[in-house]
Structure 1
Amino acid sequence: MNPAVGVMALVIVSLATAAIGFYGLRISRTTGDFYVASRTVRPWWNASAIGGEYLSAASFLGVAGLILLSGTDALWFPVGYTAGYLMLLLFVAAPLRRSGAYTIPDFTEARLDSRAVRRVTSVVVVAVGWLYIVPQLHGAALTIRISTGLPAWVGSAAVVVVVCLTVVAGGMRSITFVQAFQFWLKLTALAVPVLFIVFTLAGDGEAAVAPAVVNPTGLAPAGPYQNISLLVALLFGTLGLPHVLVRFYTNPDGHSARRTTLIVLGLLSVFYLFPTAYGLVGRMFAPELARSGQPDAVVLLLPGQLIGGTAGDLLSALVVAGAFAAFLSTTSGLVVSLAGVISQDVLGGGVRGFRLAAVVSAVVPLGFAVMSDSLALAGSVGLVFAFTASTVCPVLLLGIWWRGLTDAGAIAGMVTGGVLCGGAMVWGTVMGAAGTPFWLAQPAAWTVPAAFAVTVLVSRATKHRIPRTMARVMTRLHTPERPLATER
C-alpha cells in the first residue's frame, strides 16, 4: 500500500470527525446534552450511532482475521455479536430507558437504594471500558503500521487525541452525529472493496491465487465447550456493555428504545456479511496472510494484493478510512460512558467535570496500549465480553426482572464474577496460549453461571435488605409510556 494514500485516508477521517464534533458544540449547552443528548435522539439516528460505536476493531478487522485462521468456527463471533442485540431488545432496552438514569451506576443505585452498590458498579464499569478501549488502540496501531509505515504508537495516540477533542467539544450530542456518520462510512468502506474484489475474481481471477488451501493454518477446530462459552460471553456480554447501554438513555421513551434496537439488529446483520466475506476470500485466495502473523490485517491488505495498481490503492485507502472510523467511534462511545461515571462519582458532575473525566478516560488506556502487545482483536474483545457478562449483566438482568435482588447480592455477584473471570484473563496473559487450559481461555461458560448463582443465593439470604423503594422502581421500569406522536 502506498503510504501517502494511507496518511491521506487517516487525515480525512480525522478532520471529518473533528468537524462534526465541533458542530455538536454549537448545540451542546446543558449537562443533559453532554450526558444523554437531552434524551431527544430518534431511533434511526440512535441506531446508526449504536452501530458506529458497537462495530469496533474486533468487528471491522478481527472477525475477518479469525475466519481466515479458523474458518467456520469464527462465525460464532458475528452471530453472537448480533444475537446479543436481540436479547437487549427483549430484556433490557425499554426498562432501562424508563429508569431515567444517566449511567449504569445511576441505575443500580436507584434500583437497590445503595451507595455501596453504586461504587462497586462504577469500578466495574470503568474496568470494562478501559479493557475495551485497549484493543481499539491496538487496532489503530496495527492500521497505522500497515498503511503508512509510521511507528505503531502514532495510531493509538491519534485516536486518543481526536476522541478527546470530539468528546470534550460536545459530549453525547456531538458524539451521536459523529458515530452515525462513522457507521455508514464503515459499512461503505467494507462493502465497496469486497464487492469489487468478488466481481473481479468472478470476471477473470487473474489477480488471485488458486483457491486450493482449505485450512491454511492447520489449527484444530474448536470443541463444543469453546463454542458454547464464546456464545455465552457474546450474548450476555452485550447486555452489560456500558457504551451501548448509555445509548438507550438518549431515546425519548421506552417505545423508541425498542425501535432503535430493532433497527440496530438489521444494520448489524447487513454489516457482518462483509467482514465474513473478507475472511472467506482471504482464506481461499490469500492463505499466506494466515501464516504471516498478522491475520487481523487481512481486511487492510486484500484490496492491494488481489486488485493492485491505482484501483487497489484507492480501495485500500477506503478500507483504512473505515478502520480508523471504527477505532474512533467505539473509543469515543466508551469515553463518553466512562466520563459520565467518573465525573459524577469522583468529580461532582457538571460539564467541566465531564470534560476532565473524558480526558482521563482516554489517556489511561493509552498507557496500557503502548506498553502491551496486540493480541488477536476479536479474541481479546471476546474476553472483555466474558468479563462484562460475569459482572454487569447479572445485576442488570436481575435488577430489571427479579424483585428479590438485594444490594448485598449484587455486590457479591459482581465481585465473584470479576475475580473469577479477571483471574482467568490474567492467567492467560501471563502463561500464554500454550500454558492456558481451554476452560480458562474461554471462561464465560462457568463464570457467568457462578456470578448469577452467587447473586441469587446471597440475595435470598439477605431478604431483609430488599429496598423499600423496590415496588415503586419496578413499576416505573415495567409500565409502558405513551409513545411520542412523532414515533407512531
Structure 2
Amino acid sequence: MNPAVGVIALVLVSLATAAIGFYGLRISRTTGDFYVASRTVKPWWNASAIGGEYLSAASFLGVAGLILLSGTDALWFPVGYTAGYLMLLLFVAAPLRRSGAYTIPDFTEARLDSRAVRRVTSVVVVVVGWLYIVPQLHGAALTIRITTGLPAWVGSVAVVVVVCLTVVAGGMRSITFVQAFQFWLKLTALAVPVLFIVFTLAGDGSAPAAPAVVNPTGLAPAGPYQNISLLVALLFGTLGLPHVLVRFYTNPDGHSARRTTLIVLGLLSVFYLFPTAYGLVGRMFAPELARSGQADAVVLLLPGQLIGGTAGDLLSALVVAGAFAAFLSTTSGLVVSLAGVISQDVLGGGVRGFRLAAVVSAVVPLGFAVMTDSLALAGSVGLVFAFTASSVCPVLLLGIWWRGLTDAGAIAGMVTGGVLCGGAMVWGTVLGAAGTPFWLAQPAAWTVPAAFAVTVLVSRGTKHRIPLTMSRVMTRLHTPERPLMTER
C-alpha cells in the first residue's frame, strides 16, 4: 500500500470527524446537552451511534485476526458481542432509562441512597473506561505503523487529539452525530473491499492456499471452559460498559430505549458478517499473515495483497479510514462517559468541568498505551469485558431487579469482582500468554459468579441497610411510561 494513501485517508476521516463535532457545538449549550444530549435522541440515530462506539478496534481488526488464527473457534467473539445486546434489551435498557440518571454512579447512588457506593462505582467505571481505551490506541498505533510507516505513537496521539477536540466542542450532542456517521463509514469500509475481493477472486478462479495452522494464543478460546468463560464475559460485560449504558440515558423514554436496542442487534448482526469474511478469506488466500504475526492487520493488508494496483490502494484507503473511525468513535464514547463521571464527582459538574474531565479521561490512557505493547486486540478487549462483568454488572443487574440489595453488598461485590479479575489479568500479563493457565486467561467463569455471590450474601447479612427509598426507586424503574413521553 502506498503510504501517502494511508495518510490521506487518516487526514480525511479526522477532518470529517472534527467538522461534524464542531457542528454539534452550535446546538450544545446546556449541561443536559453535554451529558445526555438533553434526552432527545431518536432510536435510529441512537442505534447508529451505539454501533459507532461499540464496534471498536477489537471488532474492526481483532475479530478478523482471531478468525485468521483460530478459524471457527473465534466466532464466539462476534456471537458474544452481539448477544450481549439481547441481555441489554431484556434486563437493562428500559429500567435504566427510567432511572433518570446521568451516569452509572448516579444510578447506584439513587438506588442505594449511599455516597460510598457512588464513590466506589465511580472508581470502577473510570478503571473500566481506561482499560477499554488502551486497546483502541494500540489499534491506532498498529494501523499507522502498517499503513504509513510513521512511528506507532503517532496513531495513538492522533486519536486522542481528535477525540478531545470533538468531545470538548459539543459533548454528548456532538458525539452522537460523530458516532452515527462513523458507524456507517465503518460498515462501508469493511463491506465494499471484502465484496470486491470475493467477486474478483471468484471471477479469476483463484485457488486458495492451504489454511494457516497456527497455535491460537492464550487469548483465543480453545476448549469448553474457555468458550463458556468468554461468553460469560461478553454477555455480562456488555451490561456494564459505561459508554454503552450512558447512551440509554439519551433516549426520550424506556420504549425508545428498547427500540434502540432492537435496531442495534440488527446493525451488529450485519456488521459482524464482514470481519468474519475477512478472516475466512485470509485463511484461504493469505495464511502467511498469520505465520508472520500480522493477524490483527489482515483487514488492512488484504485489499493491497489480493487486488493490488490503484484499485487495491483505493480499497486499502477505505479500510484505513474505517479503522481510524473505529478507534475514534469508541474512544470518544468512552471519554464522554468518563468525563461525565469525573466532572460530577471531582470537578463539581457543569460544562467547564466536563471539558476538563474529557481531557484527563483521554490523556491518562494515552500514557499507558504509549508505554505498553499491544496484545491481540480482540483478546485484550475480551479481558476488559470480563473485568466489567465481574465488577459493574452485578450491582447493576441486582440493583434493577432485586429489592434486597444493600450498599454494603454492592461495595463488597464490586471490590471482590474487581480484585479477582484484575488480579487474574495482572498475573496473566506477568506470566505471558504461553505460561498463563487457562482459568486465568479467561477468568470470567469464576470471577462473575463470585462477585454475584458476595453481593447477595453481604446484602442478606445487612438487611437493615436496605434504603428507605428502595420502593419508590424500584417503582420508577419498572413502571412503563407512555411512548415518546419526554422527561421534564
Shorter-normalised TM range: over 0.9
On the 8 A contact 2:7/2:148 being kept in 1, the answer is yes
State the Cα deviation string for residues 379-408 of structure 1 (Å, max 9, x = none). 000000000000000000000000000000
Question: What is the alpha-carbon distance in structure 2 between the residues aligned to residue 412 and residue 459 of structure 1?
Answer: 9
Q: Using the TM superposition, give the Cα deviation of residue 311 of structure 1 relative to its aligned residue in structure 2, in angstroms.
A: 0.4
Q: Using the TM superposition, give the Cα deviation of residue 433 of structure 1 relative to its aligned residue in structure 2, in angstroms.
A: 1.2
The within-5 A match list for 1:28-427 is: 28-206=28-206, 209=209, 222-427=222-427
Question: What is the alpha-carbon distance in structure 2 between the residues aligned to residue 8 and residue 158 of structure 1?
Answer: 14
Q: Using the TM superposition, give the Cα deviation of residue 219 of structure 1 relative to its aligned residue in structure 2, in angstroms.
A: 12
The within-5 A match list for 1:422-433 is: 422-433=422-433
On the 8 A contact 1:338/1:361 being kept in 2, the answer is yes
Question: What is the alpha-carbon distance in structure 2 between the residues aligned to residue 178 and residue 336 of structure 1?
Answer: 12
Question: What is the alpha-carbon distance in structure 1 between the residues aligned to residue 465 and residue 415 of structure 2?
Answer: 18
State the Cα deviation string for residues 77-112 of structure 1 (Å, max 9, x = none). 000000000000000000000000000000000000
State the Cα deviation string for residues 178-197 of structure 1 (Å, max 9, x = none). 00000000000000000000
State the Cα deviation string for residues 418-451 of structure 1 (Å, max 9, x = none). 0000000000111101221100010000000000
Q: Using the TM superposition, give the Cα deviation of residue 205 of structure 1 relative to its aligned residue in structure 2, in angstroms.
A: 3.7
On the 8 A contact 1:234/1:382 being kept in 2, the answer is yes
Question: What is the alpha-carbon distance in structure 2 between the residues aligned to residue 97 and residue 220 of structure 1?
Answer: 35
SS of 1:373's equivalent?
coil
> Could you say if the C-alpha distance between residues 74 and 23 of structure 1 is closer, same or farther in structure 2, counting changes exceeding 3 Å?
same
On the 8 A contact 1:207/1:306 being kept in 2, the answer is no
On the 8 A contact 2:134/2:365 being kept in 1, the answer is yes
> Could you say if the C-alpha distance between residues 212 and 478 of structure 1 is closer, same or farther in structure 2, counting changes exceeding 3 Å?
closer
Corresponding residue pairs, total: 488
Of the structure 1 ranges 414-423 and 199-208, higher mean CA displacement relative to structure 2 is found in 199-208
> Could you say if the C-alpha distance between residues 216 and 243 of structure 1 is closer, same or farther in structure 2, counting changes exceeding 3 Å?
closer
On the 8 A contact 2:210/2:287 being kept in 1, the answer is no
On the 8 A contact 1:213/1:283 being kept in 2, the answer is no
* TM-score between the two structures when normalised by the length of structure 1: 0.98
On the 8 A contact 2:70/2:214 being kept in 1, the answer is no
> Could you say if the C-alpha distance between residues 377 and 211 of structure 1 is closer, same or farther in structure 2, counting changes exceeding 3 Å?
closer
On the 8 A contact 2:69/2:213 being kept in 1, the answer is no
Question: What is the alpha-carbon distance in structure 2 between the residues aligned to residue 452 and residue 166 of structure 1?
Answer: 38
On the 8 A contact 2:253/2:486 being kept in 1, the answer is no
Question: What is the alpha-carbon distance in structure 1 between the residues aligned to residue 60 and residue 457 of structure 2?
Answer: 40
SS of 1:221's equivalent?
coil
Question: What is the alpha-carbon distance in structure 1 between the residues aligned to residue 321 and residue 202 of structure 2?
Answer: 26
Gaps of 5+ in 2: none
On the 8 A contact 2:219/2:433 being kept in 1, the answer is no
State the Cα deviation string for residues 285-329 of structure 1 (Å, max 9, x = none). 100000111210000000000011100000000000000000000
Of the structure 1 ranges 216-225 and 60-69, higher mean CA displacement relative to structure 2 is found in 216-225
SS of 1:208's equivalent?
coil
> Could you say if the C-alpha distance between residues 441 and 157 of structure 1 is closer, same or farther in structure 2, counting changes exceeding 3 Å?
same
On the 8 A contact 1:234/1:386 being kept in 2, the answer is yes
Question: What is the alpha-carbon distance in structure 1 between the residues aligned to residue 185 and residue 303 of structure 2?
Answer: 17
On the 8 A contact 2:65/2:298 being kept in 1, the answer is yes
On the 8 A contact 1:217/1:290 being kept in 2, the answer is no
On the 8 A contact 2:252/2:487 being kept in 1, the answer is no
Question: What is the alpha-carbon distance in structure 2 between the residues aligned to residue 36 and residue 168 of structure 1?
Answer: 14
SS of 1:374's equivalent?
coil
Of the structure 1 ranges 88-97 and 427-436, higher mean CA displacement relative to structure 2 is found in 427-436
On the 8 A contact 2:214/2:290 being kept in 1, the answer is no
Of the structure 1 ranges 222-231 and 476-485, higher mean CA displacement relative to structure 2 is found in 476-485
> Could you say if the C-alpha distance between residues 486 and 206 of structure 1 is closer, same or farther in structure 2, counting changes exceeding 3 Å?
farther
Question: What is the alpha-carbon distance in structure 2 between the residues aligned to residue 401 and residue 66 of structure 1?
Answer: 36
Question: What is the alpha-carbon distance in structure 1 between the residues aligned to residue 291 and residue 368 of structure 2?
Answer: 27
Q: Using the TM superposition, give the Cα deviation of residue 14 of structure 1 relative to its aligned residue in structure 2, in angstroms.
A: 0.1
Question: What is the alpha-carbon distance in structure 2 between the residues aligned to residue 214 and residue 437 of structure 1?
Answer: 19
SS of 1:487's equivalent?
coil
State the Cα deviation string for residues 260-291 of structure 1 (Å, max 9, x = none). 00000000000000000000000111000001
> Could you say if the C-alpha distance between residues 125 and 217 of structure 1 is closer, same or farther in structure 2, counting changes exceeding 3 Å?
closer
SS of 1:482's equivalent?
coil
> Could you say if the C-alpha distance between residues 178 and 219 of structure 1 is closer, same or farther in structure 2, counting changes exceeding 3 Å?
closer
Taking only aligned residues, the RMSD between alpha carbons, in angstroms, comes to 2.0
Q: Using the TM superposition, give the Cα deviation of residue 134 of structure 1 relative to its aligned residue in structure 2, in angstroms.
A: 0.1
Question: What is the alpha-carbon distance in structure 2 between the residues aligned to residue 434 and residue 78 of structure 1?
Answer: 24
> Could you say if the C-alpha distance between residues 384 and 220 of structure 1 is closer, same or farther in structure 2, counting changes exceeding 3 Å?
closer
> Could you say if the C-alpha distance between residues 212 and 171 of structure 1 is closer, same or farther in structure 2, counting changes exceeding 3 Å?
closer
> Could you say if the C-alpha distance between residues 424 and 323 of structure 1 is closer, same or farther in structure 2, counting changes exceeding 3 Å?
same
> Could you say if the C-alpha distance between residues 221 and 331 of structure 1 is closer, same or farther in structure 2, counting changes exceeding 3 Å?
closer
Question: What is the alpha-carbon distance in structure 2 between the residues aligned to residue 428 and residue 50 of structure 1?
Answer: 31
Question: What is the alpha-carbon distance in structure 2 between the residues aligned to residue 385 and residue 455 of structure 1?
Answer: 19
Q: Using the TM superposition, give the Cα deviation of residue 209 of structure 1 relative to its aligned residue in structure 2, in angstroms.
A: 4.3
Gaps of 5+ in 1: none
* TM-score between the two structures when normalised by the length of structure 2: 0.98
Question: What is the alpha-carbon distance in structure 1 between the residues aligned to residue 237 and residue 430 of structure 2?
Answer: 24
> Could you say if the C-alpha distance between residues 326 and 221 of structure 1 is closer, same or farther in structure 2, counting changes exceeding 3 Å?
closer
- Identity, in percent, stands at 97
Q: Using the TM superposition, give the Cα deviation of residue 221 of structure 1 relative to its aligned residue in structure 2, in angstroms.
A: 7.1
Q: Using the TM superposition, give the Cα deviation of residue 485 of structure 1 relative to its aligned residue in structure 2, in angstroms.
A: 7.5
Q: Using the TM superposition, give the Cα deviation of residue 214 of structure 1 relative to its aligned residue in structure 2, in angstroms.
A: 9.7
> Could you say if the C-alpha distance between residues 212 and 258 of structure 1 is closer, same or farther in structure 2, counting changes exceeding 3 Å?
closer
State the Cα deviation string for residues 26-50 of structure 1 (Å, max 9, x = none). 0000000000000000000000000
On the 8 A contact 2:219/2:441 being kept in 1, the answer is no
On the 8 A contact 1:53/1:333 being kept in 2, the answer is yes
On the 8 A contact 2:218/2:433 being kept in 1, the answer is no
On the 8 A contact 1:51/1:183 being kept in 2, the answer is yes
> Could you say if the C-alpha distance between residues 229 and 108 of structure 1 is closer, same or farther in structure 2, counting changes exceeding 3 Å?
same
